[in-house]
Amino acid sequence: MSRIGKKPVIIPKDVKIEVKDREVFVQGPKGKLSRKLTDRINIEIKDDQLLVTRVADTKVDKSMHGLYRALIVNMIKGVTEGYLKELEIIGVGFKAAVAGDKLNLALGFSHPVNFAIPAGIKIETPKPTQLVIRGIDKELIGEVATEIRAIYPPEPYKGKGIRFAGEHVKKKIGKAQATGK
């Protein structure tokens, strides 16, 4: 039983939803999003509500039921409010700057790292050690943030690297302190 999938999705007044050829199109004040539907899920639009139903009661169908409802809710929130993810850069001399459609990162390597910013994503650097990633597609924002973090993930000894804002990195004690000498 999918408790999430059974709930109807209330469509805001400034959002248009269209279902055509097993694809959902959501359009709002911030932009347009679309997502292909599996053939195990059906969508009905009644009045100002969207209902997600499943074809059968198998375990896979039940999980897809809640998943697709949540994805559609995320699309609606994205085209109305948008999403953002923040990253922090920790380390002496580590900094970031946006130049056109590229993100330039100085992370202590022998060369600067250039990251191509995908379409539909805006990256801001309020401080040289802070990144704010904005967009309407929640999945794409998370993917971009993870790719940037993977360039230099936080290391456990000094804590240097790129981390999500508020992420706690558990630090290890060094070799000299561990032996007690």
Is there a single domain that holds both residue 92 and residue 155?
Answer: yes
Q: What is the percentage of the chain residues whose pLDDT exceeds 90?
A: 85
Q: Is the pLDDT of residue 1 over 60?
A: no
Q: How far apart are CA 125 and CA 58, in angstroms?
A: 47
Instruction: Say if residues 117 and 129 touch (Cβ distance below 8 Å).
Output: no
Q: What is the average pLDDT score of the chain?
A: 93
Is there a single domain that holds both residue 95 and residue 156?
Answer: yes
- Check which CATH number belongs to the domain holding 107 and give it: 3.90.930.12
Number of domains in the chain: 2
pTM of this prediction?
0.88
Q: How far apart are CA 110 and CA 97, in angstroms?
A: 17
Confidence of residue 124 (pLDDT cuts 50, 70, 90): very high
Q: Is the pLDDT of residue 162 over 60?
A: yes
Confidence of residue 149 (pLDDT cuts 50, 70, 90): very high
What is the average per-residue pLDDT within 81-87?
Answer: 96
Confidence of residue 180 (pLDDT cuts 50, 70, 90): low
Q: What is the CA radius of gyration of the chain?
A: 21
SS3 label, residue 181: coil
Q: Is the pLDDT of residue 40 over 60?
A: yes
Tokens 């999980």, located at residue: 63
Confidence of residue 175 (pLDDT cuts 50, 70, 90): confident
Rounded to a whole number, what is the distance in angstroms from the first to the last CA of the chain?
Answer: 59
Is there a single domain that holds both residue 56 and residue 101?
Answer: no
Residue 82 neighbours by CB distance under 10 Å: 18
Instruction: Say if residues 124 and 131 touch (Cβ distance below 8 Å).
Output: yes
Q: How far apart are CA 57 and CA 117, in angstroms?
A: 41
Q: Is the pLDDT of residue 179 over 80?
A: no
Distances (CA, A) of 50 to 22, 24, 121, 168, 173: 15, 11, 28, 39, 53
State the residue range of the domain holding 45: 3-80
Q: Does residue 173 sit within a domain?
A: no
